[in-house]
Amino acid sequence: MALDTDLPRLVEEERPSPGTKCLFYETSSNPTVAIHGSILAGTSSEPSGKSGIAELTTRLLIRGTRRLSAAKIADQLESVGAAISFRNSQDSIVFQARMTSQWTERVLSILSDCLTKPAFTPRDVNREREALLTDIRLRDDDTTRRGMKELSTLIYPPGHSYRRDRFGTAETVKRLDRTDVKDYFDDIIESAPVIVAFAGQLKKKDKTNWVRHTFGDRDENKKIDLKSRARAQPPSPTRKEIVMAHKTQADILIGGIATSRTDPDYETLNLLNTVLGELGFMGRLGARVRDKEGLAYSCSSFISAGLAGGSWTALAGVNPRNITKALEMMREEIVKVQKEPVQDQELEDAKQNQLGSALMELESTEGVARTSHNLAHFGLGLDYFQKRRQLFSKITREDLQMIANKYLDVSRLSTVIVGPRAKN
């Protein structure tokens, strides 16, 4: 059996307290420990008018606790070659840690402090708010990131949390203060459900006790609001051009609403996207627009799928004089997968690509922790990869063509162009 299909046997699940879930992969062959966890908060849980508060709060978690300063945290981690990080996402706040097994207790003690006793000093709040404002300015001056932000506002309906960029806006972030941070932490983060995956040389009982002690009881009934998202209708397809005269490269983005990570259509769409924008070097899009025609520096596609929905995007970086022609060819390749089934070999290669990627991810303790966490986060089950192999055996070229017509109909896709004006 392959490691991916062996996960139900190798990974154990526990529920230390209401609203918490743990996953454990124990191995004595690797003297390291990896932790990948999440709190169901993030951008989707931001209060109205507080866009950016999840990002700001997340950044402050590593800036010191009531017991340890940021400098002390860094010194204690670096002196033993360990690391802790925090990241805000649309559906959750993610935390990660890695260490050699002999320093597990030290790292867990620091991680617990960061997650439950952050200092949130006025000085740190002001510094991180200014840093976030700088990152917002950089985002808005980057053709790709600006394009992604604008495309989200075009394809997601009003009120959908995925319509917002996780950084927020300069206007909302400027108004955030320590009280907002503290309220968000106390009201949202401290009660939200938690998932923690451990992998490596560890003792399950000790880690279960750590989770119970650190997080206590959580609101196990909290869920991302899916019903209102499903009822909301996406806006009509739109084309938008954002002129950045000082740039030398333009970005073309074509995209639309796709599936959530848990939708039955996800795997078929993922295989189609692998053919269209990933296989070889950037798939069919890269082969046509970049390699054959020489119209783009890069041209690929990807799926962004969360709990409350998802999107599909094709992205190309081009010389401004090539905008019109590159956009036309991108659309031609998208239309082609709607009109004609992909080749048998392309479909087989896409399946092997996805199966192989999963196996490669499981080669490290960090990969096992991340994978088992994600399976729990999306409720896919530890037997997911076994079920996916069975599903892959049934997916046909015609299935990919049907999915292309369902999600990639160019008449329903929006387009954003960011950069200098097209040159003749």
Is residue 369 predicted with pLDDT exceeding 90?
A: yes
Residue type, 36: H
pLDDT tens, 201-212?
A: 998 999 999 999
Which has more confidence, 221 or 75?
75
Residue matched to tokens 């040389």: 201
**Following CA atoms 374, 380, 386, 387 in sequence, which dihedral angle do they give, to the nearest 10 degrees?**
-150
Residue type, 172: T
Percent of residues, the chain, with pLDDT higher than 70 = 97
Is residue 224 predicted with pLDDT exceeding 90?
A: no
Give the pLDDT confidence score for residue 424 in this predicted structure: 57
CA dist., res. 410 & res. 237, Å (int): 9
Answer whether 269's CB lies under 8 Å from 312's CB: yes
What tokens were used for 236?
């009509």
CA dist., res. 202 & res. 269, Å (int): 38
Is residue 233 predicted with pLDDT exceeding 80?
A: no
Contacts of residue 281, Cβ cutoff 8 Å, sequence gap at least 6: 287, 290, 291
pLDDT tens, 8-17?
A: 999 999 999 9
pLDDT tens, 153-200?
A: 999 998 898 999 999 999 999 999 999 999 999 999 999 999 999 999
Is residue 144 predicted with pLDDT exceeding 90?
A: yes
pLDDT tens, 120-136?
A: 999 999 999 999 999 99
Residue matched to tokens 């000093």: 121
The CATH number of the domain covering residues in 10-225: 3.30.830.10
∠ CA(350), CA(386), CA(30), 5° rounding? 95
CA dist., res. 274 & res. 282, Å (int): 8
Residues of the chain with CATH 3.30.830.10: 10-225, 236-419
Answer whether 27's CB lies under 8 Å from 38's CB: no
DSSP, residue by residue, 331-390: HHHHHHHHHSPPPHHHHHHHHHHHHHHHHHHTTSHHHHHHHHHHHHHTT--TTHHHHHHH
Q: Which three-class secondary structure state does DSSP give residue 51?
A: coil
CA dist., res. 280 & res. 290, Å (int): 13
Contacts of residue 401, Cβ cutoff 8 Å, sequence gap at least 6: 337, 338, 340, 341, 342
pLDDT band at residue 226 under the 50/70/90 scheme: low
Give the pLDDT confidence score for residue 228 in this predicted structure: 47
Contacts of residue 147, Cβ cutoff 8 Å, sequence gap at least 6: 242, 251, 253, 315, 416, 417, 418
CA dist., res. 37 & res. 42, Å (int): 13
What architecture does CATH give domain 236-419?
Answer: 2-Layer Sandwich (3.30)
User: 370: closest CA among 193, 200, 162, 165?
Assistant: 200
Give the pLDDT confidence score for residue 81 in this predicted structure: 97
CA dist., res. 275 & res. 261, Å (int): 19
What tokens were used for 296?
């783009």
Give the pLDDT confidence score for residue 223 in this predicted structure: 81
Answer whether 401's CB lies under 8 Å from 337's CB: yes
145: enclosing H helix or E strand: helix 143-155
Q: What is the mean pLDDT of residues 43-48?
A: 94
Is residue 237 predicted with pLDDT exceeding 80?
A: yes
